Amino acid sequence: MRPFSLLSAALALAPVAAVAAPGGSEIEVTAGAHGCRRAVARVVLPYSPTAAQVRGGEAWPVQVRKVAGGYEATWLVDGLREDEKRVYLLARTGKAPQAAGMKAAKVAGGIEVRAGDRLLMKYDTSTGPNKPYLYPLLAPDGTLMCRQYPLAKVAGESADHPHHRGLWWTHGAVNGGDYWSETSTKAHTVDLAAAQKVESGPVFARLTTATDWIGPDGVRVGKDAREVTVYAPGDVLDFVITFTAGPAKVTFGDTKEGSLGVRLPDEMIVDRGKGHIVTSTGIMDGKAWGMRAPWVDCYGPVAGKTMGMAMADHPANPRFPTWWHVRTYGLFAANPFGIHDFEKKPAGTGDMVVEAGESVTFRYRVYLHAGEPEAAGVAQVCGSFIDPPRAVVRTR
């Protein structure tokens, strides 16, 4: 298997610009080291294409939006092996295939994302004491993929760690303040700072928000911009979080209490005897805690069937591959800061300083899947995020 390059992965974050071509453009897509499964292809064209089509084959839904320099076209690529190529035609005319569509809409207290009329998740900005979060979080078949407590009290369900709400991103030591816990005497808040933006279409739904990190004196420590993109049919969520320090430097402290986290359903956890944790390096269950790996998958029985959730780190992130704060009782989190806890190194080893006015960006993928990791193609879906396909535009 060809190893991925940090440079090629970073470059793949930006769309490829195209020149005009009569009738459209041909895009040659080459799979990365893991092939393509739920992979995102993206180019910028000088015209707005109506459909993507494999040359000589079936049509593909394509989502287009106006950007600086042209029109950004996005579509999904599946079924390519390592380094395999496929040519797409992005046509000027023609009809795209019908799709139920991915919809993001502002609602009371947040933003809902739906596939057609079916609810997938809500980004809740109003009920968390100190942070926004995703709840409910549903797989495409409607299976709830996170614990209900403390949003609902269910007989037999665990009721510990009330700050484990759905799926969230925050940290437990930011300039000495705790943005992770809800009950700590050092607990601080992350508040919605700007009107949310939403985008809908046949390929993905996207929500964009801005949040303020407020210190104990009510002064803003920093701010972040969050972008969550949910790809059809709702099984893949890509996160981009850019944190910008305020007028003074910000230190993300060395603690295990962070950062992109979810509380899994009780049914699928290791401690209930039927769930499993596996890292991309093959470490299982309780031994996975504190390990570094490009991705981790948690899977087990939920509502009478095998379901799983994988998280992938990105090579453009600081300290890739990240450490995993993944517990057998159901907490599942990516944490690039907690080196002291994870590796028993001196306190402060994992501190990360963001200088005044400077920014740092984190990118993650979450994959909600049916079946065990191999059958669900977890390595391929996460690999398509870590080493995405390369798109080269050819004139016709």
Assigned domain for 264 exists: yes
Assigned domain for 174 exists: yes
In the predicted model, what is the mean pLDDT of the chain? 90
Q: For residue 66, what are the domain limits?
A: 6-99+387-394
Would you place residue 192 in the very low, low, confident or very high pLDDT band (cuts 50, 70, 90)? Answer: confident
Whether 51 and 124 map to the same domain: the answer is no
Assigned domain for 278 exists: yes
CATH of residue 255: 2.70.98
**Which position has the token pair 């015209």?**
47
Indicate the residue type of 117.
D
Mean pLDDT, residues 99-127: 93
Whether 90 and 134 map to the same domain: the answer is no
Whether 110 and 91 map to the same domain: the answer is no
71-108 confidence digits (pLDDT tens): 999 999 999 999 999 999 887 766 655 556 899 999 99
Whether 229 and 241 map to the same domain: the answer is yes
Q: Whole-prediction pTM value? A: 0.93
* pLDDT at res. 394: 77
287-338 confidence digits (pLDDT tens): 999 999 999 999 999 999 999 999 999 999 999 999 999 999 999 999 999 9
Domain count, the chain: 2
Would you place residue 279 in the very low, low, confident or very high pLDDT band (cuts 50, 70, 90)? Answer: very high
Assigned domain for 342 exists: yes
Assigned domain for 1 exists: no
Would you place residue 396 in the very low, low, confident or very high pLDDT band (cuts 50, 70, 90)? Answer: low
12-43 confidence digits (pLDDT tens): 444 544 443 446 789 999 999 999 999 999 99
Q: 330 Cβ partners below 8 Å, 6+ apart?
A: 147, 158, 164, 263, 264, 265, 266, 269, 271
Mean pLDDT, residues 355-365: 98
Q: What percent of the chain stands above pLDDT 70?
A: 91
* 30-to-6, 35, 37, 39 alpha-carbon distances in Å: 17, 9, 12, 11
Assigned domain for 326 exists: yes
Assigned domain for 309 exists: yes
Rg value, the chain, Cα: 21
Whether 235 and 123 map to the same domain: the answer is yes
